[in-house]
Amino acid sequence: LRSQGKCTACMLQAQHCLCARLARLRARAGALSGPAPVRFVVWMHVRERLRASNTGKLLELIFPETEVLLQDVPEDHRRFRELVAAAKGRACVLYPSEAAVRPEELLQSCRAVDGAQATEESQHGAQWPSSAASAERSPLLAVLVDGTWRQAKRMSREFEGLAHVALAPGGRSAFHWRRQSQEGRVCTVEAAALLLDEMGEPRDEGSRPWLLRRALTELNGALERQCHFDT
């Protein structure tokens, strides 16, 4: 990539590198917060990793706790299984399947899991906080399927056993470097911001949803300056 004049992190041409701008946003990202803190894992199609127009990479460049894992990479599959196991029932994949639930239903489910765990621990003499307090402290692991819609449909089959979550219908995507196949569909980073909105995180300047949307604005501008259409 360097021999091609590209940044190895944001994948833009070096003279249009976005990393310094994103670093300023990253510096504003605080600790996980909200009624149900969300930690993201981006499950990325291998063809997306080197594309300047990919938006999934923005999450790991802004939120230090985010991990990007690549489909068909054995080590990443193992890491994914570790993350799901560590989540202890608090994991989901953002994908609008027929069985998908709304974020508020998922939040109720997480609280039920926390309550069951608290009851089990209390029976063994452990001191646990209430299920509501536990829900505030235990992050939800949210998997973002990052690829074209056709790729995402195939990739989503790999998450058997995880709850599917669907967002409320939204408006048009603000990311004009990728054509959406249907009205109301959005790019990966927009989907992450919408999920945080629906999980009750603040939307004011400096909040996690705001940082994601600001990062997308920065990417739009960088691609415009670069006039790069490698989608």
Q: What is the pLDDT of residue 109?
A: 80
3-state secondary structure of 32: coil
Residue-level length of the chain:
231
Q: Is residue 191 part of a domain?
A: yes
Q: Which residues form the domain of 202?
A: 2-101+138-226
Model confidence over 147-199: pLDDT tens digits? 988 888 888 878 888 999 999 877 678 887 766 555 668 999 999 999 999 99
Q: Is residue 61 part of a domain?
A: yes
Phi, psi angles (nearest 5°) of residue 145: -85, 115
Q: What is the pTM of this model?
A: 0.85
Task: Let me know if residue 184 belongs to a domain.
Answer: yes
Q: Which residues of the chain have pLDDT under 50?
A: 128-136, 229, 231
Q: Is the dihedral of CA 184, 145, 228, 21 positive or negative?
A: positive
* pLDDT of 187: 92
Residue 127 is predicted with a pLDDT of: 53
pLDDT for 135: 44
Residue at 110 is within a domain: no
Per-residue b or e along 167-191, where b marks 16 or more CB atoms closer than 10 Å to that residue's CB: beeeeebebebbeeeeeebbbbbbb
Query: Has residue 39 been placed in a domain?
Result: yes
* Total count of domains within the chain: 1
Question: What's the confidence (pLDDT) of residue 142?
Answer: 97
What gap in Å lies between CA 186 and CA 164, rounded to an integer? 17
**Residue 118 lies inside a defined structural domain of this protein:** no
Collapsing DSSP to helix, strand or coil, 42 comes out as: strand
